[in-house]
Amino acid sequence: MTICAGFESYRASPADVRVITSDGQSMAAHSYVLASSSPVLERMIDAARRGWGAECTVRVLGVSADAVHAFVHFLYCSKVAPEEEEVVGAHGAQLLALAHAYRVGWLKRAAEAAVSARLTPDRAVDMLKLARLCDAPRLYLQCARLAAKDFAAVELSDGWRFARRHDAALELELLKLMEDADQRRQRWAREKAAQEACRQLGDAMASLDHIYPCDGAAASASADAPPCATAGCTCRGLQQLMRHFATCAKKTAPGGCARCKRMLQLFRLHASVCDRTDQTTCRVPLCSHFKSKAQAEKADKTWRLLVRKVTRAKVMSSLANREVPEVVAMSWARYNNRVAKLR
């Protein structure tokens, strides 16, 4: 361990307190350094000075002597230098417990970050319990994510076997965290599938605009016109579905035709999102019919929600396809990378 400037500045002054470790080792320290760094150590030093003994001693128990030396070293330095991050990583769990017990906030955050960065499946259960005892939410979340991601490796750890035999509450808590993580993944998958469905419906609305343009130059366009050559456009498949709709004899039969029902829903959805006030300018079939029907009959809440989502997806698709400055694109890429790491 490197000697920081704090040790060099205090070396000339005499030490007035001795720190005793669990194995009986002791080290000299300055009471005003320890007391100014930790309110708990301040109370312990005051209590030791009021005793009968001539020597002021403070016992730091429960961890190894090396961890105590590192703890006192960082109290003198008041920070973690870049070259000392390996020391924090080597004694991360013990430093986290000491910083929590003696209320050294900055060291607790540094130790929590070091333990989270070096977390492995074989230590996930032990560190989860430590995070719960030391009120370390960042480490707790990291342990839960690791357990949900690689539970097969976590099951082989000694911490999991101990929890199953002797700590039913911890086992139940970990299983509940995994269940919550699985539910979140399922919810994200459903939301992603719903967004994809709305995007496809928005593309279908755009394809209807391609097939039935409303400008005067393309007034003769119809479902029999050749599809546009736009990359990724679904005009061809939509035209085939419309030809089937025009010639299908089952759409009026009992039960109807499933493909024709989808086409009718697409026409109705177009009429709901169509923003043309003059109905004669819109050449999409049944647009005016569904518009007048929507004015006469109030749509249900589910349909209105679908219309809003498709309108939003259509707008977002148009924004995504436009050319953005390079600085904005780089900013979006950095944001998406941070979101992916958090998940």
With residue 160 as reference, give the H or E element that holds it: helix 158-166
DSSP E strands in the chain: the ranges are 17-20, 26-29, 57-59
Pairing of strands 17-20, 26-29: antiparallel
Chain centroid to Cα 29, Å, comes to 44
Digits of tens for pLDDT over the chain (343 positions)? 554 655 555 555 678 899 999 999 999 999 889 999 999 999 999 888 876 555 788 999 999 999 999 999 999 988 888 888 899 999 999 999 999 999 999 999 999 999 999 999 999 999 999 999 999 999 999 998 888 888 889 989 998 999 889 888 888 888 888 888 888 888 988 888 888 887 787 777 777 777 777 654 444 444 444 445 554 556 777 777 778 877 887 766 677 788 888 888 888 888 877 776 655 567 777 787 777 777 777 767 777 787 787 777 776 666 666 676 777 778 877 877 765 555 5
pLDDT of residue 99: 95
**Cα angle vertex 61, ends 56, 65, to 5°?**
95
The region, left, alpha or beta by phi > 0 then psi within -120 to 50, assigned to residue 221 is: beta
Four-point Cα dihedral 173, 175, 179, 182, nearest 10: 120
Nearest residue to 284 (alpha-carbon basis) of 264, 260, 312: 264
Would the pTM of this model clear 0.85, i.e. be above it? no
